[in-house]
Chains A and B, each alone.
Chain A
Amino acid sequence: MAERTFRVWRGDKTGGQFVEYKIEIDKGMVVLDAIHRIQEQKASDLACRWNCKAGKCGSCSMEINGKPKLGCMTRMNSFKEDEVITIKPLKTFPIIKDLVTDVSWNYEQNKRIAPLKLPPRPKDGKYRMYQRDADRVQEFRKCIECYLCQNVCHVLRDQHKKDKFVGPRFMIRLASLEMHPLDTEDRIEKIKNEYGSGYCNITKCCTDVCPEHIHITDNGIIPLKERVVDRFFDPIAILLHKIFGKKKSS
Chain B
Amino acid sequence: MDIKEIQTIDHDVLVVGAGGAGIRAAIECAQLGLNTGMISKSLLGKAHTVMAEGGAAAAMGNVDKRDNWKIHFRDTMRGGKFLNQWRMAELHAQQAPDRVRELEEWGAVFDRTPDGLINQRNFGGHRYPRLAHVGDRTGLEIIRTLQDFCIHKGIATHMECTGLDLLLDSGRVAGLVGYWRETGRFVIFRTKAVIFATGGGGRAWQVTSNSWEYTGDGLGMAYRAGAELMDLEFTQFHPTGMMWPPSVKGTLVTEGVRGEGGVLLNNKGERFMFKYIPQRFAAETADTIEEAERWVKGDKNARRPPELLTRDVVARAIKKEVEEGRGSPHGGAFLDIASRRPADFIKKKLPSMYHQFKELAEVDITKEPMEVGPTLHYFMGGIRVDADTQATTVPGLFACGECSAGMHGANRLGGNSLSDLLVFGKLAGIGARDYVKNVSQGKIDEGQATAVIRNATAPLNREEGPNPYTVQEDLQKTMQQLVGLIRSAAELQKALSEIERIKKDIEKVKAHAAPQYNPGWNAAIDLNNLIVTAQAVAMAALAREESRGGHTRIDFEGEREEGLTYNVILNKDPNGKMQLRKEPRQTPPKHLADIAYAKIEDLERQNG
Contacts and interface: CB of A to CB of B under 8 A. Distances in A.
A115 interface: yes
A51 B44 CA distance: 12
Contact of B352 (A56, A59, A110): A56
Contact of B137 (A12, A33, A142): A142
B511 A141 contact: no
A116 B148 CA distance: 9
6 contacts: A30-B247, A55-B352, A57-B46, A107-B151, A138-B109, A138-B134
B519 A46 contact: yes
A121 to B, nearest CB: 8
Contact of A56 (B51, B115, B213, B516): B51
Contacts, number: 171
Interface residues of B, number: 68
Interface stretch (B355-363, B431-439, B574-582): B355-363
B137 A56 contact: yes
A45 B518 contact: yes
Contacts of A49: 42-43
A248 interface: no
B117 interface: yes
Interface stretch (B73-81, B100-108, B264-272, B295-303): B100-108
Nearest to A140: B109
A45 B520 contact: yes
Interface string B243-269: 011111001100000000000000000
Given A44-B468, A45-B520, A115 B152 contact: yes
Interface residues of A, number: 60
B287 interface: no
A125 B117 CA distance: 11
B211 interface: yes
Interface of A: 12, 26-30, 33, 39-40, 44-59, 73, 75, 96-98, 100, 102-104, 107, 110-111, 115-116, 118, 121, 125-131, 134, 137-138, 141-145, 173, 176-177, 180
A45 B467 CA distance: 11
Interface string B11-38: 0000000000000000000000000000
A169 to B, nearest CB: 12
B276 interface: no
Nearest to B48: A51
Given A44-B467, A51-B51, 9 more contacts: A30-B247, A33-B247, A44-B468, A54-B251, A57-B50, A96-B182, A98-B517, A134-B110, A145-B45
Interface of B: 42-48, 50-51, 62, 101, 104-107, 109-112, 114-119, 134-135, 137, 140-141, 144, 148-149, 151-152, 159, 182, 211-213, 244-248, 251-252, 352, 355-356, 359-361, 467-470, 511-514, 516-521, 523
Contacts of B144: 141, 143, 145
B51 A29 contact: no
A239 B104 CA distance: 33
Nearest to A104: B159
B517 A97 contact: yes
Contact of B111 (A107, A111, A126, A134): A134
Contact of B360 (A75, A173, A176): A75
Contacts of B114: 131
Given A73-B359, A129-B109, A134-B111, A110 B247 contact: no
